[in-house]
A and B are shown apart, each in its own frame.
Chain A
């Protein structure tokens, strides 16, 4: 698949206290962003484990965005700081395994950050288009597991 026609599949894990609301607000404000992103609402980014990210990549996700509250503003005090560490740890595993570490990124936005949310999505999609499709994506019809992401 050439990079020009490539439409990345981006998973965005969004904390329900901030970025999920920001995504909702982006909709209310009629802000446009590409439909390549699958938003997964999470109770807090601190709930996300390294396994979740690794499994998503294993099943062919092109990229992952972990969107948590602004540092110091976590509803559960430090969930977003834990997520930051886990994203860093995942990047280490990805590069050791042969995948680009840039395929996962942590961002921090407030519930009012509809515009930054859209900008981050566009930025991440641009990064993924530069990197190209995940080499783990299988050719041919998607499996059930791949359809779920």
Chain B
């Protein structure tokens, strides 16, 4: 899922300063699961913004709404009336959600969250990054552990030899991805995969090649 984090109230106040009728729009999918932009966070942020507005005489009028998914037309349509009633939209969706709303309505749409990464819930209240969406997956080569995302140096032919006690030398709070890859390949009997030297990665399949589009002709009419 996409993992995001909230912006602080002073940041949001700064973004919204001078605006009156504000729609605080939550998203019921990824950002709900990562506790950043669901119905509950919409309510908390709306209360905090109303408090800040009254203390600083900002005159915010905040309407709250959460739709199932901000990146899907069918669900976005359900917010149409609320968007029209307000001057601006403060979206608590991910970057895709914010842009999807902005492209469809002639109203200012602001991002209320910082979108961080594609990741998983590792343990309670802890999310970790697992994928940078490079466009050419090589996970089969590395026992299901991505060296591009999880090795700070993106090494395809690791390790870098800089790790200490199985910890990354760039981020000591994270495990060395190559230690994990070695262990995993050994346990599943695929250590042989490390014998071949991997050629440099073609980054043009990823964001390096410009904004991507996927068209499935078989699904078009």
8 Å CB interface, B31-54 against A: 40, 43-44, 47-52, 54
CA distance A66 to B209 in the complex (A): 54
Q: Smallest CB-CB separation from A56: which chain B residue? A: B47
Contact partner of A51 (CB less than 8 A), chosen from B8, B9, B40, is: B40
Q: Which residues of B contact A97 (CB under 8 A)?
A: 9, 48-49, 51-52, 55
**CB–CB B55/A93 < 8 A:** no
A contacts with B, residue count (CB < 8 A): 15
Contact partner of B55 (CB less than 8 A), chosen from A49, A51, A55, A135, is: A135
**What are 5 A-B interface contacts by the 8 Å CB criterion?**
A51-B47, A54-B48, A54-B51, A93-B48, A96-B8
Q: Does B208 contact A (CB under 8 A)?
A: no
Give, as a whole number of angstroms, the nearest-CB distance from A145 to chain B: 13
**CB–CB B43/A58 < 8 A:** no
Listed in ascending order, the chain B residues whose CB lies under 8 Å from chain A are 8-10, 40, 43-44, 47-52, 54-56
**CB–CB A58/B55 < 8 A:** no
Q: Smallest CB-CB separation from A135: which chain B residue? A: B55
**Known contacts A49-B40, A136-B55; is A96 also within 8 Å of B47 by CB?**
no
Q: Which residues of B contact A94 (CB under 8 A)?
A: 48, 51
Q: Which residues of B contact A58 (CB under 8 A)?
A: 47, 50-51
Contact with B along A120-146 (1 / 0, CB 8 A): 000000000000000110000000000
CA distance A49 to B52 in the complex (A): 20
**CB–CB A99/B51 < 8 A:** yes
**Which of B8, B44, B47 has most A Cβ within 10 Å?**
B47
CA distance A96 to B44 in the complex (A): 12
- With A54-B51, A96-B9, A136-B54 given, can you name 7 additional A-B contacts, CB distance below 8 Å? A51-B44, A54-B48, A57-B51, A93-B47, A97-B49, A99-B55, A136-B51
Q: Which residues of B contact A93 (CB under 8 A)?
A: 9, 44, 47-48
Give, as a whole number of angstroms, the nearest-CB distance from A58 to chain B: 5
Contact partner of B47 (CB less than 8 A), chosen from A55, A98, A135, is: A55
CA distance A54 to B54 in the complex (A): 14
**CB–CB B40/A57 < 8 A:** no
CA distance A86 to B43 in the complex (A): 14
CA distance A51 to B26 in the complex (A): 15
Q: Which residues of B contact A136 (CB under 8 A)?
A: 51, 54-55
**Known contacts A135-B54, A136-B54, A136-B55; is A96 also within 8 Å of B40 by CB?**
no
Q: Which residues of A contact B48 (CB under 8 A)?
A: 54, 93-94, 96-97
Q: Which residues of A contact B47 (CB under 8 A)?
A: 51, 54-55, 57-58, 93
Q: Which residues of A contact B43 (CB under 8 A)?
A: 51, 54-55
**Known contacts A93-B9, A96-B8, A96-B9; is A50 also within 8 Å of B54 by CB?**
no
Q: Which residues of B contact A55 (CB under 8 A)?
A: 43, 47
Contact with B along A70-105 (1 / 0, CB 8 A): 000000000000000000000001101111000000
Give, as a whole number of angstroms, the nearest-CB distance from B62 to chain A: 11
Give, as a whole number of angstroms, the nearest-CB distance from B188 to chain A: 36
CA distance A57 to B52 in the complex (A): 12
**CB–CB B54/A96 < 8 A:** no
Give, as a whole number of angstroms, the nearest-CB distance from A53 to chain B: 9
Give, as a whole number of angstroms, the nearest-CB distance from A48 to chain B: 13
Give, as a whole number of angstroms, the nearest-CB distance from A74 to chain B: 16
